[in-house]
Amino acid sequence: MPFDPETLRYDARGLIPAIAQEAETGEVLMMAWMNAEAVRRTLKTGRVTYWSRSRQAFWVKGESSGNVQELVEMRVDCDRDTLLLLVRQTGPACHTLRRTCFYTAIRDGEEVVLMEPEAST
């Protein structure tokens, strides 16, 4: 069946959450939002493109930092209201310069930071 981004279920703002997962390691890197046009651009260009809620603008991941996400495969969930992006991430995915945004664990009721920022190149 041909895929049409309009058939996804977007929220009231016209957005759908997209989870980025490193294709090789399986590490979950981040979650951000897309609108239908961001889905279309990501599939067309192979460069993961989100919709920035704060800037109200398209956000080609890594466009300014160089830490791009190359799309390996897009997946849709059963309810068609969440996307999973298998990606090849260049450099750290997180704006804190950590490999993943999910670097804080809850252990025995305490917040534990699991990794430090990577050295900038």
Torsion of CA 44, 1, 89, 14, to 10 degrees: 70
Q: Which of 109, 119, 120, 121 forms a contact with its own copies (CB under 8 A)?
A: 109
DSSP label of 47: B
Q: Give the x/- contact pattern for its own copies in 89-108, rule: CB under 8 A.
A: -----xxx-x--xxxxxxx-
Q: Does 55 bind its own copies (CB under 8 A)?
A: no
CB atoms within 10 A of CB 89: 24
CB 25, min distance to its own copies, A:
7
Q: Which of 9, 25, 45, 52 forms a contact with its own copies (CB under 8 A)?
A: 25
Which structure tokens are listed for 55? 């800037």
